[in-house]
Structure 1
């Protein structure tokens, strides 16, 4: 089937024109309300029941839940409404003005991932609600690029919006059934400064941090011995010592030192357990050196994604795309849907290679095939005679 490219472009242009940067730095962070309002208007015009939901404890941040049809289960098209910050002086055109050049649509968020929503709009446009045996749900979230507060708010409700979730991150429409988890942590060692001529005058935070980093490297080796998943390009979990700051002069005992690191986990690993184990290993160092060590979270993190390849959703996506499900190294909101006992796949038009950089674009040639796949998923899970059976199967 075909779609109206001009209509798609106009929809995406309106979304791109509304800044919705999410960032831990307050000078960059903006509300996503204008994007959510625009999506609510677009889906309401197609007959969807829409609900705009404020994200608790995050002023100016909102989720959208739009539903067409009734019944059990249903298919959820999920995506985030925010973007990363941008370097305006490095763009060839205005980041907030959608620009077409050489078969590409350029704009901030065009591929990651505002471009997914107009594709969903085109896919559902000609659907007769009377034919639906299970609902179509669209979920647009806040702050995926920073805190993932929108997805966490959904998880806190404990209510699954459907049985199957298609998270439309840019994968070139290749189904992704696995990705690594991530946590980002801080370790602060609080020692005592003093004159460097006599070590007894202080308690070196840097020397204690040397033990801390050695323990982290040891723990990394143990994890890499225990966990191995050949589906990933880097088959083992990684722990990166990202940055360290400590002391203020060569002739002073270091009074304070701070390390930031990230740990990227593979399926069967859990962030809470990893944090607990790291903290347990820090306690003996603090006690032995009679020093304070403060372990804290920089980013609450995301657990790994694993959706079995024999599940109904992955089988359907592989059949419709002709592509075998793969693993990726980046994290998404999909694990939150898994925690709500939903099946989840990461799959959308565009390329992650274009995300988070100047002159972000989505290739026009990817749009028609993507919209066809989304339509077919709707027919499979929401319209066909097998939809009711599939929605009663539960999740895997």
Structure 2
């Protein structure tokens, strides 16, 4: 019977940065061969499986797409994978094929006390396209454990439980002016000057903040790029400013204030939603399971960046995040995951599936 480390190695070896089809095929075929579940490959490429029954449904959720690899991570027949010092190295090991493998094995082995759902989405790295498509098509579990990283967040050697994370809103401020010769600046309207007024407005905005299950979570907002002007002797008639905002549940910075400046408009380019566990009992249930299966003392923690849990929570699913990846591992040239953390995640997922009881 395939174990979590071996399955992780198989998944990591399959390139899935440009096309997730092969990885999805492997996951679908494995689930059909290894489980008695009803397995679906939806029109987006997501792999979804279900087994068991109960008043509520619990989903183990991941994604099988990865960011583009470094040259050192590519071999002749796929991605390079290496096991050493208790870790698995390779693109996607941490983010997040290791947790997908742990969820697949837990799904296979669990005798669930609920309807147990496994879902591995495509397109997480490009804005959650797979999760959004599944939700639009009716994917709506009552509860979900999303297997993004939560290991070593509070301290080394533990897998924590994330009860809230920030979202990301990316915006572009478009500024119009009127061109003129630079020798007669008063004949035009300098778009860069107007842009500096907009930047000052952004700079003075208060960061959004809120409290989730007793934990304070604070966002941020920052100007990250500016572009304008066509020549050294021309008053610029256009300028653009990029703004990166980290949002919090029910909290956004009032960026629309920049549109009070003449010639300034705001365009929201991306808005990845934050997540907050909206039922304390579920956060406590997963936390108690995490505590029971490991020697260390995990904590309920916050995560600084967005995951597919945001889309699910926005659609009404009660979520937490719990997975094997550690801070600083995802998207790196030496990306790796701890096999001990993978085993912990397997134990957490299986225990939650077999002891799930929140109805009423």
Q: TM-score, normalised by structure 2?
A: 0.87
Are positions 1:357 and 2:332 aligned together? yes
Name the residue aligned to 1:108: 91
Deviations 1:97-126 (A, max 9, x none): 221112111111011101112212322333
1:171 correspondence with 2:155: no
Equivalent-residue separation in structure 2 for 1:312 and 1:179 (angstroms): 18
Instruction: Please show how residues 1-396 of structure 1 align to structure 2 within 5 Å.
Output: 7-21=3-17, 30-45=18-33, 46-55=35-44, 62-89=45-72, 91=73, 96-128=79-111, 132-160=112-140, 162-172=141-151, 173-218=159-204, 220-221=205-206, 223=207, 227=209, 229=211, 231=215, 236-270=218-252, 274=253, 277-279=254-256, 281-286=257-262, 291=263, 293-299=264-270, 301-308=271-278, 311-322=280-291, 323-381=298-356, 387=357, 390=358, 392-393=359-360
Structure 1 residues not aligned, in runs of 5+: 22-29, 56-61, 382-386
The answer to whether the Cα contact below 8 Å between 2:210 and 2:249 also exists between their aligned partners in 1 is no
Matches of 2:319 and 2:210, distance apart in 1: 22
Write the distance in 2 (CA, Å) between the matches of 1:112 and 1:257. 36
Give yes or no for contact 2:202–2:258 (8 Å, CA) kept in 1.
no
Contact 2:63–2:96 (CA<8 Å) still a contact in 1?
A: yes
- Which structure shows the bigger proportion of residues in strand conformation? 2
Alpha-carbon displacement from aligned partner over 1:185-224 (angstroms, at most 9, x marks no partner): 1112132322101124322110110111111122x23x45
Listed as ranges, the gaps of 5+ residues in structure 2 are 152-158, 292-297
- Note the alpha carbon deviations across 1:235-262, whole angstroms, 9 max, x for none: 5321111111111333210122111111
**Gap change, CA 1:16 and 1:321, over 3 Å in 2:** same
SS at match of 2:240: strand
Displacement after TM superposition at 1:76 (Å): 0.2
Aligned-residue offset at 1:354:
0.8
SS in structure 1 at match of 2:55? coil
Instruction: Give the secondary-structure state (helix, strand or coil) at the position aligned to 2:15.
Output: coil
Whether contact under 8 Å (2:202, 2:222) holds in the other structure is no
Distance 2:299 2:149 in 1: 16
The answer to whether the Cα contact below 8 Å between 1:12 and 1:98 also exists between their aligned partners in 2 is no
TM-score for both structures, normalised by structure 1: 0.80
Using a 3 Å threshold, how does the CA distance of structure 1 residues 126 and 63 change in structure 2: closer, same or farther? closer
Counterpart CA distance in 1 for 2:233 and 2:20 is 50
Query: Against the structure 1 CA distance between its residues 298 and 86, is the aligned structure 2 distance closer, same or farther, given a 3 Å change threshold?
Result: farther
SS at match of 1:371: helix
1:93: Cα distance to partner?
A: 7.5
Check 1:104–1:298 CA distance in 2 against 1; reply closer, same or farther (3 A cut): same
Q: Distance in 1 between matches of 2:352 and 2:146?
A: 13
1:330, distance to aligned residue in structure 2 (A): 1.4
**Contact 1:63–1:150 at 8 Å: present in 2 too?**
yes
Say if 1:178 and 1:305, in contact at 8 Å, map to a contact too: yes
Q: Hey, what's the Cα distance between the residues in 2 that align with 1:371 and 1:140? A: 16
Deviation at 1:369, TM superposition (A): 2.3
